[in-house]
Structure 1
Amino acid sequence: MFKYILGYVIILLGIYYCNDNIIHLLSGNLALVRFIELTLPLSVPSLMYFLQVSKDRYERIEKEKQKESKHKMEEEDKFERSLPFFYVRNGTIFAKSSQKSPILNVKIRIDIIKNDFGVLDELSVRGEIDSENIIPVGGLIDGDEINLDYLLESNNISKCIRWFVLSAVTITNDIVYFIYLPYLKTGWHFYRRKDGKKPKIVQYIGEERYYELAKFLVAYVSEQQDEFYYKESILNDAITYLNNNDLQESFAQLINLVRRVKELPKSEILYVLHKAYLMLNYLKISHKIDPNYFNGNLFEKCNFTDKYTKALENQNHEIMIREYLQDIIKLVNNDSWVSLDFWLRNVEVYVRDQSCVLDINALERELRETIPSLVGGLID
């Protein structure tokens, strides 16, 4: 309202002082008074009009906001009702899907918190999550059952668990979590919603009591699982290249897996590197190794980097790259310090850009054997 009144006054003053005809017409000491008397009959209805327009505009914007908010809530409620849910009865986990669509990539994760946690009148969470067991289940459909006791026994896990997290992927690629505490016989459901750059964890089924504990557990699992899904993404790329007959790029993705996924268990690192060493025999050098790039990746001065800085100048590069990888395997096996990210770049580039396939059938056979073994994780 203030904007309209101020604007209107400025217009009137502009007309009054800038129009010579008006100044002449309203000459004399009472010119301003006469000007206001002449314009007042127009000013009042004009101001009323501006005020009404402003009010209508404000109400229209508010109605649109309310309508948009209501629509968003309805869509969110509809989305949450479409998500799968789980419940536990007599040691069995039951899966339900309201849309009858498959529940994909189901995994059950069992962790232990150092110093444990108390479930009394007030929640107490102390320490950090100490150990973990990830059990891949596969896909489920509406009505499927998982015998929890059998699952724990077959994976050598004590049946006296305090909690577990079941994670799954919906047909629309949304990630859901089911947190269950056998001691309380209570569970909570969450899903990951993309909210800007950082995903947001949203509860869609569950009691408010001990909600903070459930949220604490699912937040931890969600953060750790990002690394796991990154692993799956790289393996999916490896499979795609393999199916497109790009064997070298598929092989290079396995090296990339060890380089990029920092939480990869030692058993899987050694498995991939041993397989890579074997598969190098199915390649032959096609381009000379660039000494500047190779030496640039020999990060941190040590016996290993000194050896291969000199070996690059004097050795057959095809033989050298196999010995180079073999020495990395020895360092990993002995728990010695090793820069997997930098040192393995040389192997990755050699496989992808500086070699050609010597035995197509043998390399394809090894890749088709190696990749599926990594999807579910290896047992130490």
Structure 2
Amino acid sequence: MRASRALRPSYRQAFGLSPGQKLVVVSSTWGPESLLGAAPGLLLRLAEQLPFDEFRILLAPHPNIVAGHSSWQFGEYTAAARRAGVTIPKDVDAWRTAIIAADIVVGDHGSVPFYSAALGIPLILATAPVESVDPRSPIAKLLDTAPRIDIRGDLATQIRDVIIDHDPDRYSPITTFTTSEPDASPANLRSLMYRTMKFPEPAEPAELSALPMPSQPLHAPHSYLAVVRSGRNRTASIIRYPAERLRSGYETPRGTYIVVGTTEPRRRWMQLADAVVGDPSSQTTAWIAETLAALPGSMLAAAPDEAGVWYLGDRTGTIVTATGDACHLPLVTPLACHHLAQSRPLSEFAGEWEIDCADRILVVTVRTVGHGSFASAQPDL
């Protein structure tokens, strides 16, 4: 990991992180005193409270958790968190690149939080059972020193504060005991192995290798709540949370819209959806009409075509397109919902919009491409 630190920008890019977006790594060792054992609801609460355009979350579970409970049971246990956008890599070693790319680690008394502190990554502890570790160990000293998260408090504020207030050298008096010979493990281990085998050691130096790139980007929720605030001259701000937040009891402010993706939707979400978002297709406009006919409670349906242009249609048969940076175009859907909720026709939505999302100004262009009568076909029962 020390050899890979210079590749942090590359790892973040491979994870699909936008500039300024924060990666939260949640690390749990195994056993009843671990993060998942002692605070089983924290992972989902983090996903429900952290705006996902500002934060992405990755879980780094100890392999013994799956080994002890089975992959099926672990998958059921984490299903809601996955729907809320939490990434749980299949590769048990993916935590290494995640730690390097991370902006903060939420952990327990396992080794991963200690490694992250040694790398200068901000750390906050969900559980710190000092009685479970040797009181003379460096990990015990870290448990006594690192801040604790208030599980029932405002998690987003706590996460932001730890990131802002962090000093990379804060834990160096403790983490200096990680190893007495940093970066020397390849040479030391190779020498030991060859001495054990009683073979002559190769003449070329033992090299450190950087970690491989992440194989997949981080997840984002397919269904979400969007809080939209419109400004003057086609400007707006949008904050998005996972749709799982609907189950949490958190207040839903005025101007919040439910956008449901067609991947693993919950039935109640579809019944409540203000908008439905589909997958890329060559038949996008037909899909919009058929979807709105099947979901009479939705005001809008949207999906990209095969070229990445977004199409949005309402119940009058009006179709508009949105173009711009591909990763920003999904934000047009809740913005169009807000426009329709103010009793404005979708045709007047056309123009250039500036959207403030996670402290970034995003520009998209909307054009009206068609009008017509809404398809009145009823869904098959």
Between the two structures, name the one with larger relative contact order (CA 8 Å, sep ≥ 6): 2
- Per the normalisation by structure 1, the TM-score is 0.27
Structure number with higher helix proportion: 1
